[in-house]
Amino acid sequence: MPKTINVLFLAAEAEPFIKVGGLGDVAGSLPRALRALSNDEITLDVRLVLPYHPVIKADNLKPVGMFSIPRGGSEVQVEAFETTLKGMPVYFINGDAIRANGSVYSLDAKLDAEKYSFYSIAALELSRQINWFPDVVHGNDWHTALSLYYSLTKRWEEGARHVASVLTLHNLPFMGPDVSEILNSYGLKLAQTDLPDWARVMPLPLGLWSSDAIVGVSPTYAKEILTEEYGCGLNEFLQLRHETLSGILNGLDTDSFNPETDTAIGVNFALETLEKRAANKNLLQARLGLPQESEIPLFAIISRMDVQKGVDLAFSALNTMKRLNWQAVILGTGDPKLEEAAMKLQKLFPERIKVETRYDAGLARQIYAGSDMFLMPSRYEPCGLSQMIAMRYGCVPIVRAAGGLNDTVRHGVTGFVFEKAHHLSLVAAVKNALKVFANREQWQSLQRAGMAQDFSWENSARQYLNLYLSLIKS
Ligand code: GLC
């Protein structure tokens, strides 16, 4: 058993360098939470490797090498840079395929296929350059999945030592484009697999097939993907792998998301000083131009505008409840059709709905701190972070019993949970919540129970460490 475990952690995005969605939160926190578990007996040397997306603005980048990887009789150049994040080495991979694509994810599948294939291969080759070799390669989602395939294929070809591999699944439906030709050009054959034929040319399935362990970002999601409803055609394959599949709930950056110290909110508060929270509702209503009334329930939706998130269900639910007295704030960008639907709703109810179709981290925090109920009727939700932030800020979540929502919100204790992905089920849950809201004491006990929960990363990081240990042992 090594005293030091080297972990190469790969992700398309990571805070604070670049963040598009929840993956960025996870990849920005988990590697450091793992390193923090180091003690006298074991050192966890976790290092993060990211693509050097042109939109990244990082200071103090130190070049750590230029090298080439063979491709189709010629070679492609890789440039690697290094920086540190609170003591953790972070590497950036650059090259033509990465420069060709301005944003993190492109709408052009070809550009993304080239970019992430290049990145996945170069990230592994980097270890030779820096003379640091991983005991575990830990990938996240399809963008990094080919690293695991590459690692496995290389091991066969070169008889190299065993490198354990873990693939964390944040979003199964996104499997990546057909990369069979690209793999071929990099000299990688398509393996004979037990994957369905359509899947064996795509990065995510190939990565799943190659991994020693597959992790879903919540226990419920890890079970859901074994079913036809959530398995995206890979359910039977995943069933065959169920022994290597587990669920580990994401944590939250509880230092950053702390109502006691958050500088983005007007009045700080904590569990013991919950009464101070009311001022934030007042400030939020003022900022949004809503009537400043403390008794009117204020609903919040902070979400990517995506059908996954069920925002359309929330819009219909609000429309259905027009006879009741409430206010709502909706913050988020994404699918133009959903943004439009939100704007339409605001036009219908200008006195009580405010819509902001942009990304605004500061406003989001003020909404968590000031609104009463957080609506999250996701059609599927591998983990979900917003419901955890909401609870931490005393905003009571009303969620669908999907994935991580099911694992983090307890019906009647910390929030409200409903089953069916239908707006009327949401309406019923909201009405239920409104009854409790009318009773101040009962409501506060829900808020307190939510705020008292421990969503820190330490627990999740420990589970990942145990997984690494079990893989290295076998
Ligand atoms: C994806 C999932 C979300 C999860 C996040 C981080 O964005 O949709 O549920 O919380 O990844 O794992």
Q: Please, which pLDDT band fits residue 37 given cuts at 50, 70 and 90?
A: very high
- Which of 171, 249, 308, when mutated, tests ligand 1's pocket best, judged by the most ligand atoms within 8 Å of its CB? 171
DSSP state of 321: T
Instruction: Name the strand (E) or helix (H) holding 246.
Output: strand 245-247
What confidence score (pLDDT) does residue 158 get?
72
**Calpha distance 222→230 (Å, rounded):** 10
**Calpha distance 261→271 (Å, rounded):** 13
Ligand 1 and 383: CB distance under 6 A:
yes
What confidence score (pLDDT) does residue 372 get?
98
- Which of 9, 20, 218, 385, when mutated, tests ligand 1's pocket best, judged by the most ligand atoms within 8 Å of its CB? 385
Mean pLDDT of 450-462: 96
Say whether pLDDT at 353 is over 90.
yes
Say whether pLDDT at 113 is over 90.
yes
Mean pLDDT of 315-333: 97
Query: Could you count the other beta carbons within 10 Å of the beta carbon of residue 445?
Result: 14
Could you give the percent of the chain with pLDDT greater than 70?
A: 99
What confidence score (pLDDT) does residue 57 get?
82
Mean pLDDT of 200-209: 98
Residue ranges per structural domain of the chain: 3-251+458-473, 271-454
Taking only the tens place, the pLDDT of each residue in 217-264 is: 999 999 999 999 999 999 999 999 999 999 999 999 999 999 999 999
Mean pLDDT of 267-282: 98
What confidence score (pLDDT) does residue 264 get?
98
Ligand 1 and 385: CB distance under 6 A:
yes
Mean pLDDT of 7-21: 95
Say whether pLDDT at 296 is over 60.
yes
Grouping H, G, I as helix, E, B as strand and the rest as coil, residue 31 is helix
Separation of CA 383 and ligand 1 centre (Å) = 5
Could you give the percent of the chain with pLDDT greater than 90?
A: 93
Q: Please, which pLDDT band fits residue 1 given cuts at 50, 70 and 90?
A: low
Grouping H, G, I as helix, E, B as strand and the rest as coil, residue 34 is helix
Atom of ligand 1 nearest to the CA of 217: 12
In CATH, what number does 271-454 get?
A: 3.40.50.2000
Q: Based on the number of CB atoms within 10 Å of its own CB, is 287 exposed (0-12), middle (13-18) or buried (19 or more)?
A: middle
Separation of CA 381 and ligand 1 centre (Å) = 7
Q: Please, which pLDDT band fits residue 59 given cuts at 50, 70 and 90?
A: confident
All residues at 6 or more sequence positions from 397 whose CB lies less than 8 Å from its CB, including other chains: 373, 374, 376, 387, 390, 391, 405, 409, 414, 415, 416, 450
Residue of the CA atom closest to atom 10 of ligand 1: 384
Residue of the CA atom closest to atom 7 of ligand 1: 22
Q: Please, which pLDDT band fits residue 375 given cuts at 50, 70 and 90?
A: very high
User: Residue 214 corresponds to which tokens in the numbers above?
Assistant: 């597959």
Ligand 1 and 170: CB distance under 6 A:
yes
CATH topology of domain 3-251+458-473: Rossmann fold (3.40.50)
Q: Phi then psi for 84, rounded to 5 degrees? A: -130, 150
Residue of the CA atom closest to atom 11 of ligand 1: 170
Q: What is the mean pLDDT of the chain?
A: 96
Ligand 1 and 26: CB distance under 6 A:
yes
Separation of CA 49 and ligand 1 centre (Å) = 19
The radius of gyration computed from the CA coordinates of the chain, to the nearest angstrom, equals 23
Say whether pLDDT at 156 is over 70.
no
What confidence score (pLDDT) does residue 2 get?
55
Say whether pLDDT at 91 is over 90.
yes
Separation of CA 13 and ligand 1 centre (Å) = 12
What is this structure's pTM?
Answer: 0.94
What confidence score (pLDDT) does residue 154 get?
79
Separation of CA 171 and ligand 1 centre (Å) = 6
Separation of CA 316 and ligand 1 centre (Å) = 24
Mean pLDDT of 408-419: 98
Q: Phi then psi for 101, rounded to 5 degrees? A: -130, 105
**Calpha distance 301→289 (Å, rounded):** 17
Ligand 1 and 250: CB distance under 6 A:
yes
**Calpha distance 74→470 (Å, rounded):** 40
Lowest mean pLDDT among 108-117, 151-160, 242-251, 279-288: 151-160
